[in-house]
Amino acid sequence: MTIIEELDAAAAARELPALAEVMRLCVEAGASVNFVLPFSQADSEAWWRRNVLPALESGERRLLVARVEGRILGAVQLAFAPQPNQPHRAEVTKLLVHPEGRRRGIGRALMTRLEAMAREAGRSLLILDTVEGSAAQRLYESLGWTLLGVVPRFALSTDRTRLEGSAFFWKEIAAA
């Protein structure tokens, strides 16, 4: 059974190796989530430590994880827009499902819970971007996200051999 739970900064710090491992394995499997290969466990842990833990501590971000039999197999973050004129907006970032856990509904469960969390936090407008034509794009479309458009040649593939387009999506969710 998949359990979705929120981790605060202290819990995320304890789970840092598992979180970093999921991200490293996703990058090794070709996921374009800002990194290129080689991407080590140490690189991944450093990124989580530097970028996520302080943002969880300050409340700028929130983190959800998916556990299957106690093991973290997925994660997603909600980053609150810092602009004073956008208190209703947030960005979904780093939806990651362990390659061994795919196509079992973990990604959908994380996104569904994240949308509920955003609604409860008063964030009714969400945005995200993903690689054009990716599995993630199909997931977002199946969850009713609206495709704004595709920016071609946006980012390098993980193996640096080509430039991939980025598909930008938005979703408006009813207030709590």
Ligand X SMILES: CC(C)(COP(=O)(O)OP(=O)(O)OC[C@H]1O[C@@H](n2cnc3c(N)ncnc32)[C@H](O)[C@@H]1OP(=O)(O)O)[C@@H](O)C(=O)NCCC(=O)NCCS
- Which residues contact ligand X (rule: CB under 6 A)? 26, 31, 33, 95-97, 102-108, 130, 134-136, 138-139, 142
Residue nearest to ligand X (CB): 107
Q: How far is the CB of 30 from ligand X (least distance, A)?
A: 8
Cα–Cα distance measured from residue 49 to residue 161, given in angstroms and rounded to the nearest whole number:
29
What is the SS3 assignment for 23? Answer: helix
In angstroms, give the least distance from the CB of 103 to ligand X.
4
Nearer to ligand X, 90 or 106 (CB): 106
* C-alpha span between 113 and 110 (Å, rounded): 5
β 125-131/89-97 pair status: parallel
Nearer to ligand X, 5 or 87 (CB): 5
Q: How far is the CB of 140 from ligand X (least distance, A)?
A: 8
Using alpha carbons, select from 86, 75, 85 the residue that is nearest to residue 124.
86
| Cα torsion angle, 14, 20, 25, 31, sign | positive
The minimum distance between CB 61 and ligand X, in angstroms, equals: 15
Nearer to ligand X, 57 or 139 (CB): 139
